Chains A and B, each alone.
Chain A
Amino acid sequence: GAVVSQHPSRVICKSGTSVKIECRSLDFQATTMFWYRQFPKKSLMLMATSNEGSKATYEQGVEKDKFLINHASLTLSTLTVTSAHPEDSSFYICSAIPGQEQQHFGDGTRLSIL
């Protein structure tokens, strides 16, 4: 149980393109999901907390207009990287909490901007 699905797993696109990443909780409802960014050989950095039915809470230094988060249902949160540039290339991972504190992670999305 507690499966988190993330799609797509890999995206390669041109600079200036907007990219949408989906995070779904398959067998549980998640009022809160989290979005992380991970650079090669680095740790996971929390970008924002996605709250169902309300605005996301962004961490300091993360541009809200650049990384749009929508959590329209109890099983789906989306992250849209708007007007992506090469510096946005990274591994993006979502997570959700099915019960108490344990966060279950999606498989991640490797985003490459040319």
Chain B
Amino acid sequence: GENVEQHPSTLSVQEGDSAVIKCTYSDSASNYFPWYKQELGKRPQLIIDIRSNVGEKKDQRIAVTLNKTAKHFSLHITETQPEDSAVYFCAASNRGGGNKLTFGTGTQLKVEL
């Protein structure tokens, strides 16, 4: 089955700096890669996603890049703000495989003033 690794497990940045979180996946059949933000005790919220037919997607301060050959994808957050502090999860799924999501281990992002 799919295995998703995520790094780093914790990340501290100064407000206004950029944050980058990286994930690798093992199953070349995976074709959908969402990123979720989860605050303590809350539901995971989709912040951005990318499909395997594109290499990059951007939404305001958030961007995701995908390298299918290397099987890795990354989340980039620019101009970080304190409210960006949360746990971020990457995930991978194969639409042809029933859309089951395999999650990464999570990154605790702390944006310091």
Chain A residues numbered 80-110 whose CB sits less than 8 Å from any CB in chain B: 91, 93, 95, 97, 100-108, 110
| Complex Cα–Cα for A107 and B44 (A) | 8
| Complex Cα–Cα for A93 and B41 (A) | 11
Q: Could you say which of B42, B99, B105 contacts A103, with CB atoms under 8 Å apart?
A: B99
Contact at A107–B42, with CB atoms within 8 Å? Answer: yes
Given contacts A43-B106, A102-B49, contact A97 B99 (CB under 8 A): yes
Contact at B101–A42, with CB atoms within 8 Å? Answer: no
Chain B residues numbered 8-56 whose CB sits less than 8 Å from any CB in chain A: 32, 34, 41-46, 49, 51
B44 proximity list for chain A (CB < 8 A): 44, 93, 105
Question: What are the interface flags for B90-105 relative to A under an 8 Å C-beta threshold, 1 for contact and 0 otherwise?
Answer: 0001010011111111
Given contacts A32-B99, A101-B95, contact A110 B89 (CB under 8 A): no
Q: How many residues in A have their beta carbons less than 8 Å from beta carbons of B?
A: 24
| Complex Cα–Cα for A30 and B81 (A) | 36
A41 proximity list for chain B (CB < 8 A): 106
A13 proximity list for chain B (CB < 8 A): none
Q: Is A46 an interface residue (CB 8 A)?
A: yes
Contact at A102–B43, with CB atoms within 8 Å? Answer: no
Given contacts A43-B106, A106-B43, A108-B43, contact A32 B95 (CB under 8 A): no
A111 to chain B: closest CB distance in Å? 13
Contact at B103–A102, with CB atoms within 8 Å? Answer: no
Given contacts A100-B95, A102-B34, contact A43 B43 (CB under 8 A): no
Contact at A34–B43, with CB atoms within 8 Å? Answer: no
A43 proximity list for chain B (CB < 8 A): 89, 103-106
B101 proximity list for chain A (CB < 8 A): 34, 44, 46, 95, 103
Beyond A43-B103, A106-B43, A107-B43, 5 additional contacts (C-beta under 8 Å) are: A43-B104, A91-B41, A101-B99, A103-B46, A105-B45
Which A residues are closer than 8 A to B by beta carbons? 32, 34, 41-46, 49, 57, 91, 93, 95, 97, 100-108, 110
Between A and B, 8 residue pairs with Cβ closer than 8 Å are: A32-B99, A43-B106, A49-B100, A101-B34, A101-B93, A101-B95, A105-B43, A108-B43
